[in-house]
Structure 1
Amino acid sequence: MAQELKSNYIQWGFESLQFPNKLRSWSKSNPKINDDDNFFISRVKPKQRFRYEGTQVRTDLTETNDKKLLAWLPWNVPSKNALPDGVFDSEVFSMWPYVTHWGDWNCGLGRIPAALLDVAHKNGVAVSSVAGIPDGQLKGEWSRSLTTLAGSDIQTVADYMKYYGYDGFGYNSEFSEYYTAGRVTKAVRDFHVKLNKAIRPYNPIFENIWYDGTNDQGRVTFDQGLGDHNKTIFGESGSEAADLFFNYNWNRSWLLENSVAKAEELHRNPLDLYAGFNMQGGEPKTYSTVRWPLLKKYPISIGLWGAHSQNMFFESRGEKGSDPETQQRTYMLRTERWFSSGSRNPVTTPEISHSMQYNADNTDFHGMSAMMTARSSMSWDLTQEPLITYFNLGNGKFFNYGGVRQNDRPWANVGVQDYLPTWRWWFASKLLGRTAADVPATGLDAEFVWDDAYMGGSTVRVHGSTPKEYLHLFKTKYALKTGDVITFRYKVKGGKADASLVFATEDNVNAEKAYPVLTTADEADEDKWVEKTITVGGDLNGKTLALVALKMENAADLNLYLGEFSIVRGSFDAPAQPIDVKTTLLHAAKNGVDAKIIFNMPNTKAKGEPCYNTDVKTSLFKLWAQQEGKEPILMGVTTSWAGMFYSVPVDLKGQGKVKFGVSAVSLDMKKESAIAWGEDHEIFTNYDYNDEIKADKSVIKPNEEFTIAYVDPRHEAGNWKIVDGSGNVVAQANNATEIKVTGIANVGFYNLILNGKVASTSGRVDKEVTYSNYVQITSNAVGAVPHINKLTADDSETSIEVVANKEVTMKYEGKKADGSGSRGVKLLEKPVGVKVSELGFNNTSKNNQAWSLAFWVKFNGFTGGTQIVDMRHPGTDWPQNNWGSMWTTYDPNTGVYEVTLREKNAGGAKEYKQRWKVDFVPGAWTHFVLAMEGNGTDTKPMVYINGKAAKAHNWEYNGQQGDGLNTARFANNAWWEENILGIGFGRAGAAAINGTVDDVKFFDKAISEAEATKTMMSTATTDAGMKAYWDFESDAAADHYFASKVGTAKIAHGELKAGTGEGVTTLVPDAPTYDAGSAFVSGNFQVTTTAEWTAKKATITSQSGNDQAGTAKLKYAKAGDYEVTLTLTNAHGSDTRTFKVIKVKADPTGINGTEAADMKVYAIDRDVLFDVETPGNYLVQVFSTNGQMVASKAVSVNGAESVRLHLGVQGVYVVNVKKDGKTLRTVKFICK
């Protein structure tokens, strides 16, 4: 599990209400708020955007009608906002060209994370914080706070905003001043006027935002547009106060016409007015749903809001599944379709409609690009700062630098996001193709991926086939000069293409200047980043670069990853070493250590003046960690003068000290300061033990060996017992960190009882914990998880050496794993559901009748809270479509299963919550029963797990709470005739089930524990009260519904398709995916093992195999060191093993044979040996995995010779061998 930002890691310093008083004590001579200030100070000066019609998609958009866009939205989650985190699935918004101002809704006044500021500023976007003033009468605390703010010294406020890099104030202004006669509002207005005059000369993007509720007189006047009632809050030209965010009922022509006229009367640009859109509530909708087509007619800008804690793009990104990468990809699709268009190409925008949808399949949405241009800030002086982008989003599941993996820890820091493609994605068959006819119906596509990166954890992938197509990358305005070096770096993962970088200049923007970078003759190499450089000459000298594009011709199944685009003029000095380094060890656990580092850079700026990274010759900072006795690890980068470390890998049985450091990287990314290290920290003084346990097998056969152990290698020893259903001990281990079992003979369920140390509020205490049914022994007949016993190459289990094009025979031996048994349905994070009307529910008894739902389920894993069973009408209005009549959620972190029944009232309704302690073991089958003990008037729930009553944990109801089972009952009036009873629906805040379901049964009674035990193993159709039974042994019908073996009710696996309105969906049946069902139920599903061989750069000429044995024959055309990976897979699971290594020598009889023939690189203990027989000048360099060179030796060889380099420290290294400047071989090895 990822370690992540916690509340005590970074201190914000103050709440929104406290900001005015903080200002009173702040000064340039004493600018410090607290020790964590550097996490909130921007080090990127806001870039200035430019206009140039020649590279617009829509040339009819001019300064007078090109709308702005205010994203008045929360960032990420409130507790973290944009602070650096250890969670990959964090918000990394990237559609900056279509945003002019981001109002961070969950940032209180006067404090904004620097990471958000930095990425916005490099894109020319303003960022402000928000005063979350409650509606109604202005409360005394807010009256005093706003009065203090308005009375602050203007220059002090201006200096504060400049020092921290903040670009405005925002106000949730829907308050009334009944007792102060508007005096506070007027004072704040006058404060804004003065502040704008003081700040805008040096920060032209500074902008205050006022929610258009409170008017000039301190009263609320919604939905009247700009008029005499609010004109001074808006302000006339020269006395601008705040731009207005209209409430959501602006969608009337007269209101927009009058607002434009009033703005012009005040000599203001009406584009400084924002028409508000409530993304959560689907507003405007009060008077009508006329929205975008009406707004398109008027020069009024776009304002997005929704909701209070998370924005809607991010909050419901789980619509396609809960896997973190799936959620990131979904979030990206949602934002790309909303901003660039439903097609993700601003050229092919659908017709402007009234839609407010923002889902991943929002293909019919016109996008913001239909009403605004894609803005760019890429226009600065290249002598001061080069342009460099690695196409990195600012998050990842790993961290790469220079194309080399530095660590495999998840991270997120949007502040280091690169400059990204401007229009996203402007494909066309001709340069600057602006019509739908210019876009091929089937051609190339592009997307962000998180499986590779040159720098960071993500990059852009371009893929597909096309005869000719352009991807327009960047809108620029750079004055080029002779000698400027343009670098393009890429990796061809597969396929072919002729590709060229294309430049267009302002003097003739329609004329392309193409520079080939890839040909169809080039071979794909998924491991190699290719660098191409172009030195600007006479054809581009003195020209203004307006456009950078990538032209691809003759592309066939192209799979191209982008690594870098840069323009560098001259050379840049190495920055100074950081100073004043302060480090704090925050947390130490099994997954590693968390820490923070705060530092400064030597500079000549006066105290209290902003100092940007460009002022100290720095592009970014590298963050280093080093455990005593180990090599330094590069953990990430930051633009702030502060950084976070999460899950730094440490040897848990190694030395107990660790230190953290930082180095500064030059503006051209080619030079680096020395590392400035902080003090040593003791790792294990306050170690946080992980009390989880895990078995080494998810499917265990009779008499098969298995082990259950603490996952934490440092965990204290405990006493272990495995007992059968009668309480008999079948295995035990005392004073041990694991229990090794030689085998259990009988099929069935077994409890694990563990008496050991666990965490408590008073520290580590001894506690006996029973893991019910933790061990499952299943029959051999149903099959098993495959296992590879042996893997050989040419009958060798160790590395072999062959010449190129010689056939290599791979062989494996495995255990018996095939079989047959019950058939289930893979849920794939989608529900199976049945209409309650088919089960006998009606509007009279509603959900208060007696019923039970029983089924087998196997969870593949959990990513957080998971919804198990619920009953709801997904097509009704929000939020009832999310709540329904009942819902149930399992929290894997606490092992608590919760059933919630809720009254139908939209707000303030009573909720009945009953909780049980349940151990759902991933990979194991669990029989689950939810029994509702209804009597027609009221009801209460009961849960049975594997035929036994679950352990009641606690309950909440009607303002009361208690332990165990609640004896009170609940009259559930939340009812819809269209309700669906579903397994694994998922909803906002809870994932759907990632697993398989089998043998679903419905009873019109609350079954007992004895009946739950009986039905668990039974396939009978005559059990008392059974009204439906789906065993999935027969295929679904053409409409994808399964017929019941009892009664007429039908069930289907399906997808929740988005409809119109917040959260509105429809369950659409789809074709089921079958899987091995419960190992404890009979059936005829065949479990068959397949073998998959992965051999990079090899040609597999033949392969065959089953669960117990198999072979593959392959050849390598080129010299190198290669690995071959075998994966055996069946319905129960998989096993993987990699053969290391096959050393391929060049064929000495070939034309190029002498280049790498007879050359060996290998390690013995702590020595690297390099044997060569071919004459030449060789350079051998050894690098640590963080990219630092640790050894180097140059030799001139006339004949056979051996070169030895000694390494003092064990670890993983990469050795690179060059002959006459050309790389011959790069090898990774372990030095012991």
Structure 2
Amino acid sequence: MTTPAAPRITVAKVLASHYKGVDAKVIFEMDNTKPAGEPVYNLDVNASMFKLYAQQENEEPIFMGITTSWAGMYYSIPTNLQGSDRIRLGVAAVSVDMKSDSEITWSEYMDMGEYTTTDEIQINKTTIKPNESFEISYVDPRHAPADWKLLNSDGETVKQAANTTVFSVEEGIEEIGGYDLQVTCNGQTATYGYYVQITSEAVGALPEIYTLTVDGNTTENAEVAIDANQSLTLGYTGRKANGASSRGIEINDSWIGGKLNDAGIVARKSFSVSAWVRFTTLPESSAFFSIENRAGGWPVNNWGWMWSNISSEGKISVYTIRGDGAASPVALNYTFPNTTVSPNAWNHVVLTFEYNEQGQFRSLFYLNGILQKSTWTYGSSASGTTEQWVPKADYNVSASDWFCFAGGRGEQPVTNNGIVDDLLIWDGGMTQEEVDQVKAGLDAENLPSKVIAYWDFETDANEQNYFLSKGSKADVEACSFKLVASTAQGSGIQTPQRPLYISGCPFIAGTAFQVETLPTWTAKRGELTESTGTDTEGSTKLSYSTAGDYTVTLTLENTLGSDTKTYPVFKVAGGDGVADEVMGDMRTYTVDGVLFVEFAEEGTYQVAVYNVSGMLVAEKEAAVAAGQNMSITLGAKDVYVVKVMKEGKVVRAIKVLNR
């Protein structure tokens, strides 16, 4: 087939520049003989598709993808942040038989534009033990330096660093508990509640591989030479990571809660609700906490007695109490300008719903033991601040109202995921001392008298998937539930789901959830036998029947996370005579002068073969499915270097012997 002509770029434009790269667009044309106004198809210009390239000035070109139209969008073009601030876009036409490409047409170099900085931060460990080092940093390497502080529950600074983008705490923190992070940059301070959480060794830890051994010897060599069918013993040592903790239940795109009336909560009775919550995924505008009667009529079944949304960053800007006792009750809106429920961290939550003797109402929100400052409006007739009472607020809980953590709102709810532990209903409002008492953890066998219903999830749910409470009202039911649509508009039926048990809050007592660390070895083309191991040590037997170069990885994993390390490359001699090289997610072998490259993952690959003099002797590109291979004729018996690229990036380079 004829190689197509090179495209002609008419528009090349940078759209955005950020830490992930550059976003851009390109529009191009192909010379053709069609009269003006008639459609031109790719076949008319001997093209099947077009390859899109990008090149930062003074850097190598990058293959970014393909398009069948005469335009393309680029997202997150990789760039060297220490390199030039100019970039260009390129396009090449691919022949109909996909065996040849036109020359790449390049745009002029363009400025990358104004760099957009993100304030997102990250921590390098999800589970931290006393005196264990950890590091907090900006995700964006170009972010301006900041001042960092970690504060304990008394507001005292325990660790700090100034004028840096990376906050390293080499010696760790000794005291178990949660620590607020304050980051001050350019005069603006952001606070992340309970961002760093130090937990005891007893509740389990993030696995960490200390050493890898081959036949009992710790090796730092890059390669280990062995014979085919030779048996090796691979071993490891690791940190103590096993333990036992409190048990929680996963939110799992559902709601966690129960019917308030079963706990004796009736009209004009004060009560509080508390739980430890950890949100692991937070789609925008999912639910934080709600009290609702899904069996009621429209539209009350849609908004509920009380509802609150949570943003993807954990912001709870407002929650609303409207009641469901009248057709159009006045809405009470609480606004929390500085409140953030930290994602991927344990947060202790208390919400109070209180009436006084004058029939006035208020709701207080405690996060991690701290009363959150708020303002409120009662329709257009009244307003106030945190602890002030709302006059004449007649909000009566109905016999059908459920209290619910997480989940979603409305007929087509957007739900979140996470874990809930130590759920309870308290008789009346809570004082600061009572909030602190509940946050510290309760003894299920010796509960305070004001605990109406308490679920610690240490005992299994019954056959109907309900957990039965302890407290002054025993056997009140709570569950993880999903909504099954009913016949009336907006209505639904709370349907208990089988609970998914998981490691609960590490700051409270419990032993129901066992944290067990197990090893997994991955050895493509290898035979593994007698595998055994714990968190601190383990071993397996390994052998290969085929000559080649092989890699082996070990992963230690428990419910808190995992750690992976790679053993040295095993160079196997002898075997069946076929040269076989395993390269991570692919392998190569030669048969009768033909090189075969087998891919474990689908994608578009470019394979280039060089002789020992560095001369390119063969190359091929193809889109392959997982498990397929690419064949290239080598010719002379010699040693070759095979360079494999995927979507413009070098995946691996390896020597191959054509025998």
Q: TM-score under structure 2 normalisation?
A: 0.82
Letter of the 2:201 counterpart: N
1:697 alignment counterpart? 125
Note the alpha carbon deviations across 1:1083-1120, whole angstroms, 9 max, x for none: 11332212222333433212111111111223334444
Letter of the 1:1126 counterpart: L
Q: Distance in 2 between matches of 1:1137 and 1:962?
A: 59
Note the alpha carbon deviations across 1:859-887, whole angstroms, 9 max, x for none: 23434333221122345566554432222
> Structure 1 residue 1131 and structure 2 residue 556: aligned?
no
Letter of the 1:1081 counterpart: I
Question: Which runs of structure 2 are paired with 1:669-708 in the superposition (5 Å)?
Answer: 669-683=98-112, 685-708=113-136
Structure 1 residues 1112, 1216: CA separation in 2 closer, same or farther (over 3 Å shift)? farther
Question: Which runs of structure 2 are paired with 1:649-668 in the superposition (5 Å)?
Answer: 649-668=78-97
Question: Which runs of structure 2 are paired with 1:6-85 in the superposition (5 Å)?
Answer: none
Note the alpha carbon deviations across 1:542-563, whole angstroms, 9 max, x for none: xxxxxxxxxxxxxxxxxxxxxx
Letter of the 2:462 counterpart: A
Structure 1 residues 612, 969: CA separation in 2 closer, same or farther (over 3 Å shift)? farther
Letter of the 2:244 counterpart: S
By percentage of residues, which structure has more strand? 2
Count of paired positions: 615
Question: Which runs of structure 2 are paired with 1:484-633 in the superposition (5 Å)?
Answer: 571=1, 573-633=2-62
Offset at 1:709? 1.2
* Aligned partner (choices 182, 185, 188) of residue 753 of structure 1: 182
Offset at 1:1019? 0.8
Q: Distance in 2 between matches of 1:781 and 1:1096?
A: 36
Letter of the 1:644 counterpart: M
Question: Which runs of structure 2 are paired with 1:376-525 in the superposition (5 Å)?
Answer: none
Offset at 1:1064? 4.7
Note the alpha carbon deviations across 1:43-75, whole angstroms, 9 max, x for none: xxxxxxxxxxxxxxxxxxxxxxxxxxxxxxxxx
Counterpart secondary structure, 2:273: strand
2:197 alignment counterpart? 776
2:187 alignment counterpart? 766
1:986 alignment counterpart? 408
Counterpart secondary structure, 1:805: coil
* Aligned partner (choices 823, 834, 838) of residue 262 of structure 2: 838
Gaps of 5+ in 1: 1-570, 757-764, 1163-1169, 1195-1201, 1208-1213
By percentage of residues, which structure has more helix? 1
1:813 alignment counterpart? 237
Question: Which runs of structure 2 are paired with 1:711-1110 in the superposition (5 Å)?
Answer: 711-741=139-169, 742-756=171-185, 765-794=186-215, 795=217, 796-797=219-220, 798-842=222-266, 845=267, 849-876=269-296, 880-893=300-313, 895-902=315-322, 911-916=331-336, 917-934=338-355, 939-952=361-374, 958=379, 965=386, 968=390, 971=393, 977-987=399-409, 991-1020=414-443, 1022-1023=447-448, 1025-1046=450-471, 1047-1048=473-474, 1049-1060=476-487, 1064-1085=491-512, 1086-1110=514-538
Counterpart secondary structure, 1:1015: helix
Q: Distance in 1 between matches of 2:294 and 2:153?
A: 41
Counterpart secondary structure, 1:618: coil
2:625 alignment counterpart? none
Offset at 1:1027? 1.0
Q: Distance in 1 between matches of 2:582 and 2:188?
A: 57
Offset at 1:855? 0.6
Q: Distance in 2 between matches of 1:1138 and 1:711?
A: 26
Note the alpha carbon deviations across 1:90-147, whole angstroms, 9 max, x for none: xxxxxxxxxxxxxxxxxxxxxxxxxxxxxxxxxxxxxxxxxxxxxxxxxxxxxxxxxx
2:647 alignment counterpart? none
Structure 1 residues 770, 833: CA separation in 2 closer, same or farther (over 3 Å shift)? closer
Offset at 1:897? 4.6
Offset at 1:1065? 3.8
Counterpart secondary structure, 1:1014: helix
Letter of the 1:623 counterpart: L
Structure 1 residues 1066, 1112: CA separation in 2 closer, same or farther (over 3 Å shift)? farther
**8 Å Cα contact 2:610-2:616 kept in structure 1:** no
Q: Distance in 1 between matches of 2:198 and 2:159?
A: 14
Structure 1 residues 1011, 1218: CA separation in 2 closer, same or farther (over 3 Å shift)? farther
Note the alpha carbon deviations across 1:472-529, whole angstroms, 9 max, x for none: xxxxxxxxxxxxxxxxxxxxxxxxxxxxxxxxxxxxxxxxxxxxxxxxxxxxxxxxxx
Q: Please provide the CA RMSD for this pair.
A: 3.9
Note the alpha carbon deviations across 1:1158-1217, whole angstroms, 9 max, x for none: x9999xxxxxxx9x9x99857799x9x97456x5446xxxxxxx554599xxxxxx9997
**8 Å Cα contact 1:1146-1:1156 kept in structure 2:** no
Note the alpha carbon deviations across 1:686-730, whole angstroms, 9 max, x for none: 111121222211222111111111111111111222233334332
Counterpart secondary structure, 1:983: strand
Structure 1 residues 1081, 910: CA separation in 2 closer, same or farther (over 3 Å shift)? same
**8 Å Cα contact 1:901-1:972 kept in structure 2:** no
Counterpart secondary structure, 2:131: coil
2:570 alignment counterpart? 1142
1:401 alignment counterpart? none
2:621 alignment counterpart? none
Q: TM-score under structure 1 normalisation?
A: 0.46
Say which one has the larger Rg: 1
Structure 1 residues 1160, 857: CA separation in 2 closer, same or farther (over 3 Å shift)? closer
**8 Å Cα contact 1:584-1:597 kept in structure 2:** yes
Q: Distance in 1 between matches of 2:417 and 2:456?
A: 19
Offset at 1:1001? 0.9
**8 Å Cα contact 2:265-2:397 kept in structure 1:** no
Offset at 1:663? 2.5
Letter of the 1:836 counterpart: L
Offset at 1:979? 2.6
The alignment-based identity, stated in percent, is: 37
Counterpart secondary structure, 1:688: coil
**8 Å Cα contact 1:1215-1:1226 kept in structure 2:** no
Note the alpha carbon deviations across 1:939-986, whole angstroms, 9 max, x for none: 44321111111243x666646999975955684769654332122222
Counterpart secondary structure, 1:626: strand
Q: Distance in 2 between matches of 1:997 and 1:580?
A: 55
**8 Å Cα contact 1:581-1:676 kept in structure 2:** no
Higher mean C-alpha displacement, 734-743 vs 1086-1095: 1086-1095
